Amino acid sequence: LKRVAVLTSGGDAPGMNAAIRAVVRTATHNGIEVVGVRRGFQGLHEGDMALIGPRDVANTIQRGGTILLTARSHTWRSPEGRAKGAQNLRDWQVDGLIVIGGDGSFHGAHYLQQEHGFPVIGVPGTIDNDLYGTDHTIGYFTAVETALDAVDKLRDTGASHERIFVIEVMGRHAGHIALEVAVAGGAEEVFIPEDAKPVDGVVEIVKQSLAKGKASSIIIVAEGYPGGAEGVSKAIHEGTGQETRVSILGHIQRGGTPVSSDRVLASRLGEAAVYALMDGKSDVMVGRQGGGISHIPLHETWEKKKDVNRDLYRCAKTLSV
């Protein structure tokens, strides 16, 4: 293995820079050159790439976003687009590709391997924490902290006005962020896509809370729950007549300085990705499971469902008494 390429793709996540840095430095440590690809698969298709070294990634471990830039590539969805990208990799004499991203990015990497036999390794980088085969994904811990900080602030104003705040957090089709934030933020109720409980149930919960003397409440809704925060708010207003406010936290959850857990996870997985290529592995994601490094076939990362922590879900209920 003489030269590897690295790219970030899909939604950015805090800690992606720490992962790029780990790839570059592990490769350098082992006498391997690194080509940085800009704008993910889009840049791979266009041949927008350059050699990068250890000094190029200095002062990046603490930075949010991705220095390589990212995109959701449309050209990569066609076999022709992927063939062009494979050719660019060969022209650059690249022996293996490391893709830092989520399931969409892993699909792209998998097809490159399937159609062109090109060695690929996935590194889980998404705030959603929705990839099977790793306990956590890079960016998740920071997104939770950011959302929690917002929840704490909304609680101040909610308590002062004796209002019910319905707060929507990201997560695409998964409720991991919502559940963690609900427990850490002391929420009254949490709605996640993994549990199809009807929205009307919130009416009874709010009524009970009022009867117990709780003047204000925090309700967390995952964006993937049908109807989102607006739907939950509407149900509360119609069922109880209470004044509610909706706050959709949005892309703020994707930015900011990565917390230590994301930096350490990214450092370990970036290192593991280079060693996986050196070991001749391909078409797998490197993950962290129970403190060790796992190698999971890429297709399993999206085909197998990573469930939310059901104990935590129960705990959220118990503690809202």
Please enumerate, by residue number, every residue annotated as part of a binding site for Mg(2+): 103
Nearer to ligand F6P by C-beta: 118 or 302?
A: 302
By CB under 6 A, the count of residues binding ligand F6P is: 10
CA 263 – CA 71 distance, rounded (Å): 22
Nearer to ligand F6P by C-beta: 108 or 171?
A: 171
CA 255 – CA 120 distance, rounded (Å): 27
- Residues 288, 92 contacting (CB under 8 angstroms): no
Annotation says 307 is catalytic? no
Nearer to ligand F6P by C-beta: 170 or 269?
A: 170
**Shortest distance in whole angstroms from residue 126 CB to ligand F6P:** 5
Indicate whether 8 belongs to the interface with ligand F6P (CB under 6 A): no
**Shortest distance in whole angstroms from residue 2 CB to ligand F6P:** 33
The DSSP bridge partners found for residue 120 are: 97
Indicate whether 269 belongs to the interface with ligand F6P (CB under 6 A): no
**Shortest distance in whole angstroms from residue 10 CB to ligand F6P:** 6
**Shortest distance in whole angstroms from residue 173 CB to ligand F6P:** 8
Q: Spell out, one character per residue from 27 to 66, where the chain touches ligand F6P: x when CB under 6 A holds, - when not.
A: ----------------------------------------
DSSP code for 189: E
Which residue of 21, 25, 38, 254 would you call a contact of ligand F6P, by CB under 6 A? 254
Which residue of 11, 14, 85, 158 would you call a contact of ligand F6P, by CB under 6 A? 11
Radius of gyration, alpha carbons of the chain: 21
Indicate whether 172 belongs to the interface with ligand F6P (CB under 6 A): yes
Question: Interaction with ligand F6P in 108-167: which residues (CB under 6 A)?
Answer: 126-128
Nearer to ligand F6P by C-beta: 68 or 277?
A: 68
Cα Dmax for the chain: 70
CA 181 – CA 143 distance, rounded (Å): 10
| CA atoms lying within 13 Å on the CB side of residue 56 | 16
CA 235 – CA 26 distance, rounded (Å): 53
Indicate whether 301 belongs to the interface with ligand F6P (CB under 6 A): no
Backbone phi and psi for residue 48, each to the nearest 5 degrees, phi listed first: -90, 85
DSSP string spanning 148-164? HHHHHHHHHHHHHHT-E
Indicate whether 170 belongs to the interface with ligand F6P (CB under 6 A): yes
Indicate whether 216 belongs to the interface with ligand F6P (CB under 6 A): no
188 Cβ contact partners less than 8 Å away, ≥ 6 residues apart: 205, 206, 209, 214, 217, 218, 219, 320
Indicate whether 176 belongs to the interface with ligand F6P (CB under 6 A): no
Angle, vertex CA 168, rays to CA 162 and CA 173, nearest 5:
155
Nearer to ligand F6P by C-beta: 47 or 228?
A: 228
Angle, vertex CA 176, rays to CA 214 and CA 258, nearest 5:
100
49-52 and 33-37 strand pairing = antiparallel
Structure tokens at 280: 């001749």
Nearer to ligand F6P by C-beta: 171 or 270?
A: 171
Q: Which residues bind ligand F6P (CB under 6 A)?
A: 11, 102, 126-128, 170-172, 223, 254
Active site residues: 128
